[in-house]
A and B are shown apart, each in its own frame.
Chain A
Amino acid sequence: MADGWCSDNGESVYRSRDAVKNFRIRVRIQRVTSTAALSEHLHQQVLSQQERGVIELETFSTQTASSTDEEELVVAWQEKFFSQYEVDLYQTESNCQTPLERQYHTDIMAMERSKRRQNQRIFTYTDFDRFSKWEEQAQSLVIPAQPTPTFLAERMANVRHRRQERRPAESNVPKSRLITWEPSEEFVKNSHIINTPVQTMYIMADLGPTGKLGLKENEYVLCTIKADGNGVISIKPDFNNNRGAYRLETEGEKREVWRLYLENASSDIQAEEKDREQRMYRDLYTRHKDYLNSLVGQDFEMPPPGILRLIVNGEIVSAQGYEYDNLYVHFFVDLPNNWSSVSSHCLSGVTQTCRTRSIEKEDVAFFSYPFSFETFFHKEDESDGSLPQWPVLYFKVLSLDFWQRFRTEGYGYLVIPSTSGRHRMTCRTWRAVQRGTVAELRRFFIGGAPELEDISYVRIPGTFKGERLSRFGFRTQTTGSVTFTLNCIQHARAFIDASTLKKRRQTVLDQLGGHSQQGSVYNVLEAFQRAHKRMQEARETLPRDLINTSALLNSESSA
């Protein structure tokens, strides 16, 4: 009797990816008291007394054997097995009040007609049963552990209680008391606690004496199974798994002891079903990936070969150190040879009029004027030995007074940097002055001032053709400065070729020249130049008469 009892009856938690409806558990109970011996003794007495009636003895022995209490049952998730008490209760239709109970009535009547009842003692309470609410509060009768319910367990029990009380088919919602202005503690306890939705199932056993099944007080909880929507399954107590059996002891004067076995009877998934499921998941992920790709697209715009694309996002930050107030800046971008621009882009602009304020003894006008432009460089003539030029930003600062008279405050220019990235630079300006005080009087009273007709004279004028630029006689006066911020982006196909060939890039333009279609033409021209030079050197070293002879030979060949 004391062999191999398992005293560890704690709860065990499992996580499953499979649906909980595939859950199976095999429950087996076995009586292990002296009552079995007593039954055997009675059996022998009957056999010894009446030896003539074979049929009666067989019937009696069969009945005794069937009441030799051992039962095994495989229970699925939320599968309803009726106890004797429930069969007696739901046979009468007047006891059925809810649709579930009427369904039970129909099932019991069908089962009675078909005579195919599978269980005698073991039965189940599912999550929808009416008896689930107070059965949870009843303690498990595994004797070695009798825990006292904690405060949390009581409140969680009330949570279960709350859900059962709110069955809509059973009760009507009172419309006159939608809002409870002074909730009692019981109301708060029943209504305000948030709970994770958990489905519960009880595997019960009717451990009454043989032939006296159906009494409520003989029902005992064998196993409690809970599962939530996240695939977490908790079983109390756990499966036996080759350990000893659990010990069940009944109350009353007989004090019977039962042996309990719990075994996992869930079957594994089939191979072809598993392949089908994996294929379905793979197709789902592939379709989702294709959808995302269709949203993003795969086109990355690339300039044509041999072309450098320059994108500049700039800002005129401020102007400082000027004489008059209400400043504004005229600016435009001058493109040298071989540079072109998109026709829709505007390469010039004018800022707003800005009043100055004194910062550290200097008058500063903050424009914060953003501008952007996009240009393309395409070097067609490779033989030209001139250095490539970068675009230049010319600007002039003017001031405006009350009478809408403006004065030229300063001229300046800014060469676009040849490297990409963020650049912040300050350009100093000057203005043209005329000799004498008459010009100053005119500037003060009228607002007229000497003004450059061609603003590119600030650097190198476009109409300049000579080799030396002289500015003798041109008078200027130093004025303030303008601060710019430029963000340059350079985009060219040669960059990919450079990175692929793992060559070091000296300059962007060398890479453009080296990897364009004109590169081969340039090589041919260079070879031609070298051959021409060698021929000239050879001609110089030859004597004069030999040259005449070769000329005569040429004339003969042409004839």
Chain B
Amino acid sequence: MADVCLRLQYACPWQSNMAAHGRQPVLSSTPLQILFHLNGWYFAAFFVAEILMFIYKGVILPYPQDNLILDVVLLLLFSGLETLRLFYGWKGNLCQRSLALFVSVAILVPCAVLSVYYLLLQTFVLRLEFVLNAVLLCFYGFELVLGVMTISIFSRANIY
């Protein structure tokens, strides 16, 4: 029989007073943070692979010049949007800001559209591109669900 008069609580960032009681629990979502972490690394690899595949398709296949330029520009736009989304998601989750996380979920929509474009609507779609975009869309699905849940948790909590 353990006689430990101890109650463990988790650290809160905004309360630095040691004498405070009844501290707020940590509301941040660990799975969402893990997904953001993995998605960051995955998108970096995805970007490099796409650049290399565009070089390959431009050299080997009879790629139209206008279509190639359009695809590369869209890829750059995709990377910018993805970076912005990851930053706001990361910040919103760690700092427990609903607005930042909402912005992240909002940017998720154009990112998904671009991913579907690269999955289906490119001039030439390789099998590797198909697989990479499919995995990326899975990431987006999980992040959408967890993001909405975390936003609801943040909104319901009384933060003062």
Contact = CB atoms under 8 A, between A and B. Distances in A.
Interface of A: 330, 332, 348, 350, 403-408, 432, 434, 438, 441-442, 445-453, 455, 457, 461, 463-464, 470-474
Contacts of B16: 330, 350
Contacts of B159: none
Contacts of B8: 432, 434, 450-453
B41 interface: no
A474 B18 contact: no
Given A408-B11, A448-B26, A470-B2, A332 B94 contact: no
Given A332-B18, A403-B95, A446-B33, A451 B2 contact: no
Given A432-B8, A448-B26, A441 B13 contact: no
Interface string B74-95: 0000000000000000110011
B11 A470 contact: no
Given A350-B16, A407-B11, A447 B5 contact: no
Q: Chain B contact residues: over half helix, strand or loop, or mixed?
A: loop
A447 B94 contact: yes
Nearest to A328: B16
18 contacts: A408-B11, A441-B30, A445-B33, A445-B37, A446-B30, A446-B33, A448-B11, A450-B10, A451-B9, A452-B8, A453-B6, A453-B7, A455-B18, A457-B6, A472-B2, A472-B4, A473-B4, A474-B6
A452 B2 contact: no
B5 A461 contact: yes
Nearest to A442: B30
B39 interface: no
B3 interface: yes
A442 B28 CA distance: 9
A408 B37 CA distance: 22
Interface string B17-31: 010010000101010
Given A350-B16, A441-B34, A446-B28, A451 B10 contact: yes
A467 to B, nearest CB: 12
Contacts of A406: 11, 13
Contacts of A441: 30, 34
Nearest to B8: A450
A43 to B, nearest CB: 123
B94 A403 contact: yes
B13 to A, nearest CB: 5
Contacts of A452: 6, 8
B5 A446 contact: no
Contacts of A438: 30
B30 A445 contact: yes
A347 B34 CA distance: 41
B12 to A, nearest CB: 9
Given A405-B94, A442-B30, A447 B11 contact: yes
Given A457-B5, A470-B4, 8 more contacts: A404-B95, A434-B8, A441-B34, A442-B26, A446-B28, A448-B10, A451-B8, A463-B5
A345 B1 CA distance: 43
B35 to A, nearest CB: 10
Contact of B13 (A405, A432, A445, A453): A405
A404 to B, nearest CB: 5
A404 B91 CA distance: 10
A408 B18 CA distance: 12
A350 B15 CA distance: 13
A470 B91 CA distance: 42
Contacts of B3: 470, 472
B94 A474 contact: no
List the 8 closest pairs (A to B, CB-CB), nearest first: A473-B2, A448-B10, A445-B33, A403-B94, A448-B26, A450-B8, A446-B28, A470-B3
Contacts of B94: 403, 405, 446-447
Contacts of B26: 442, 446-448
Contacts of A449: 10-11
A407 B26 CA distance: 12
Contact of B28 (A448, A453, A455, A463): A448
